[in-house]
Amino acid sequence: MSNTTPLETERTDGRDDPDAVRATTVGESEETIRPAWRQYDFEGDPKMSVRNLDVHYGDDHALKDISMEIPEESVTALIGPSGCGKSTFLRCLNRMNDRIRAADVDGEVTYDGEDIYQGGVNLVELRKRVGMVFQAPNPFPKSIRENVSYGPRKHGEVRTGFFDRLTGRDDREQRDRIVEESLRKAALWDEVNDRLDENALSLSGGQQQRLCIARCLAVDPEVILMDEPASALDPIATAKIEDLIEELSEEYTVVVVTHNMQQAARISDQTAVFLTGGELVEYGDTDRIFENPNSDRVEDYITGKFG
Ligand SMILES: Nc1ncnc2c1ncn2[C@@H]1O[C@H](COP(=O)(O)OP(=O)(O)O)[C@@H](O)[C@H]1O
Ligand SMILES: [Mg+2]
């Protein structure tokens, strides 16, 4: 499951050494030292690491000096009131903010120790590795099969149909294998295997969201970003997405935004609490954050005094 293609055309010395990144992230110099309760000590390597991240939209300072590391193969929840910068933060992790003209991103974000904001990064490759699932299910108005095979086709991993005549290649078997595997991983195969050629829009909302997850898995990502993936769904469909997120974290690094604190408590291993003004106020083991937060502001937020 590991990709070997570098994200960049050129590498900077030391960037591929996770220990070097960790040392600079925790930092010796005064200005980079974070309060202890914003540091999270976990076992294993960070899959992604964010250091001194600031985002402005014009005069609006949406994220302020955020530093945190995202452990691999686990679920990281981002919680906080509306407008505190959760979606902005998530979009920094695969450079989706590049598409928002007003957004000005400053700081360092690394993926496997490589700075994703340095020159020469291939954005198509980055977004393949760091996939994204949105709040409202957004399948293409095409068949279930075409939705899942869209990514692999775009990346040239399977060529079928129109391309056959040009190249002589016919990857239908490979395509069908990827479609089945992705739908199985997204816990949707049993519900749709007899109607793969039906329009995806005929599925229920919850099925559509699992299809969007399958579409994301089909290009073999390592990190999956989800922005309130269940907030448009009913409780039963939500429970299926929550189960799926926990299953996916055995193989993938999942970062999920939710404004539902019970959901964060149920599904995540670690939780980052953002509060109004774009601050990361506390980050740590999910059980500890909910049972015994260090910050009074986090305690007030979790116990519902505001937010
Ligand atoms: N595309 C945008 N253009 C301008 N301002 C934005 C944009 N997206 C978000 N913002 C602003 O950035 C802040 C954080 O928004 P957002 O990241 O969407 O918060 P959340 O996801 O926590 O609700 C808000 O003040 C919001 O108005
Ligand atoms: Mg949001």
In this structure, the residue with its CA closest to atom 14 of ligand 1 is: 85
CB of residue 84 inside a 6 A radius of ligand 1: yes
CB of residue 20 inside a 6 A radius of ligand 1: no
CB of residue 83 inside a 6 A radius of ligand 1: yes
Indicate whether 263 belongs to any domain: yes
Indicate whether 268 belongs to any domain: yes
The ligand 1 atom at the shortest distance from the C-alpha of residue 88 is: 17
| Distance of alpha carbon 136 from alpha carbon 142, whole angstroms | 17
Question: What dihedral angle (degrees, nearest 10) is formed by the CA atoms of 217, 259, 243, 148?
Answer: -20
pLDDT tens digits along 208-238: 999 999 999 999 999 999 999 999 999 999 9
Indicate whether 227 belongs to any domain: yes
153 Cα–ligand 2 center, Å:
30
In this structure, the residue with its CA closest to atom 26 of ligand 1 is: 83
Indicate whether 280 belongs to any domain: yes
263 Cα–ligand 1 center, Å:
22
CB of residue 106 inside a 6 A radius of ligand 1: no
Give pLDDT, residue 27. 41
Cα 205 to chain centroid distance, Å, stands at 20
CA distances from 280 to 68, 96, 253 (A): 9, 20, 20
CB of residue 134 inside a 6 A radius of ligand 1: no
**What CATH number does residue 69 fall under?**
3.40.50.300
CB of residue 47 inside a 6 A radius of ligand 1: no
pLDDT tens digits along 259-296: 899 999 999 999 999 999 999 999 999 999 999 999 99
Give pLDDT, residue 11. 37
The structural domain count of the chain equals: 1
Amino acid identity of residue 242, one-letter, is E
Q: Look up the domain containing 44 and give its range.
A: 34-138+221-302
Indicate whether 9 belongs to any domain: no
The ligand 1 atom at the shortest distance from the C-alpha of residue 90 is: 17
Q: What is the DSSP string of the chain?
A: ----S-SBSS--TTTT-HHHHHHHHH-SSGGGPPPGGG----SS-EEEEEEEEEEEETTEEEEEEEEEEEESSSEEEEE-STTSSHHHHHHHTTTGGGG-TTEEEEEEEEETTEETTSTTB-HHHHHHHEEEE-SS----SSBHHHHHHHHHHHTTS---THHHHHH----HHHHHHHHHHHHHHTT-HHHHTT-TTSBGGGS-HHHHHHHHHHHHHTT--SEEEEESTTTTS-HHHHHHHHHHHHHHTTTSEEEEE-S-HHHHHHH-SEEEEEETTTEEEEEEEHHHHHHS-S-HHHHHHHTTS--
Give pLDDT, residue 36. 58
CB of residue 61 inside a 6 A radius of ligand 1: no
Give pLDDT, residue 2. 47
Sign of the torsion formed by the C-alpha atoms of 276, 282, 283 and 286:
negative
Indicate whether 61 belongs to any domain: yes
The ligand 1 atom at the shortest distance from the C-alpha of residue 84 is: 22
Indicate whether 117 belongs to any domain: yes
CB of residue 62 inside a 6 A radius of ligand 1: yes
Give pLDDT, residue 86. 97
Amino acid identity of residue 130, one-letter, is V
Backbone angles phi, psi at 136, to 5 degrees: -95, 130
259 Cα–ligand 2 center, Å:
9
| Distance of alpha carbon 85 from alpha carbon 208, whole angstroms | 26
Spans in the chain with pLDDT lower than 50: 1-3, 9-33
Give pLDDT, residue 203. 98
Indicate whether 10 belongs to any domain: no
Give pLDDT, residue 282. 95
pLDDT tens digits along 41-55: 888 889 999 999 999
| Distance of alpha carbon 133 from alpha carbon 210, whole angstroms | 10
